[in-house]
Amino acid sequence: MEPENAGIALSLLLLCAVLGFLSIRGLVRAAKVRSRHQLMFGSGLGLGTAAVAIEVLAYVGIVNTPMLQAYVFFSAAIVGILSLGSAASLRPGRFEDVYSAFILAGCAIVGFVSFTTPVPVSIVRSGVISGNPPLLLLLLSSLVTVPATVVLLTASVLHLRRHFHARGLMMVAGASILGAGGAFYIASFPVALYYAEFLGILMLFLGLVDLSRFSLRASAPATTAAPSASR
């Protein structure tokens, strides 16, 4: 493998590792605080980790039909599962329950059809998954990705209106970009998922990791005033 290609493969592998770290972090936090939002967030990032892992394998020349079938499913499920964590921000209660049932049922159907419909290995070109999946998968996946993208972006806007801060903005933007990338892949813009993964993971990392603790801070010298005794 040429140095340039090795560098790209290493970059994808690094993205996979960072996304896996963020996923585990979200799932651990979900277990601690018993948060459904964190559970869906961590699960969505876990699907993203699996998708990037498949991209790494495809780039180094390991390609087969079951792997590409899984990739198509992950691309649709990423945005759907991420949106479940945001549904409560819109209207908790019946809307959240109905929407969650709809998305989970949609993901199950897409998963079944994905693994029973042959996906040609020709969609991988020069190591990049840039071709479109079969039309049936595109149509079924759009039933998940379109409403999920709307919910994800709407919830992001509402969240920022209530709690506006830089790290929160990074997290919301990262999740939205990552989810939108899956939607663009299903909407016949496959390469968009690669760019969305890079930008989304970078935003999530900046939002979740407090970099200020790694900065050098000059400690101000403590000054004490000696009390003067008056006579």
DSSP 153: H
Query: CB within 8 A of 43, min separation 6: which ones?
Result: 23, 27, 81
**For residue 104, what pLDDT is reported?**
93
**For residue 137, what pLDDT is reported?**
84
Mean pLDDT of the residues in the chain: 75
Angle at which helices 3-33 and 36-59 pack, to 10 degrees?
A: 160
* Residue 40 · residue 29 · CB < 8 Å: no
Amino acid at residue number 192: A
Which tens digits make up the pLDDT trace of 71-101? 889 988 888 888 887 776 666 677 888 899 9
Do you know the residue count of the chain?
A: 231
**Percent of the chain clearing pLDDT 70 (strictly above):** 65
- What are the counts of helices (DSSP H) followed by strands (DSSP E) for the chain? 7, 2
* Residue 198 · residue 15 · CB < 8 Å: yes
Amino acid at residue number 178: L
* 3-210 is a CATH 1.10.10 domain: no
* Residue 68 · residue 75 · CB < 8 Å: no
pLDDT average, residue stretch 35-56 = 85
- What are the residue boundaries of the structural domains of the chain, listed by start? 3-210
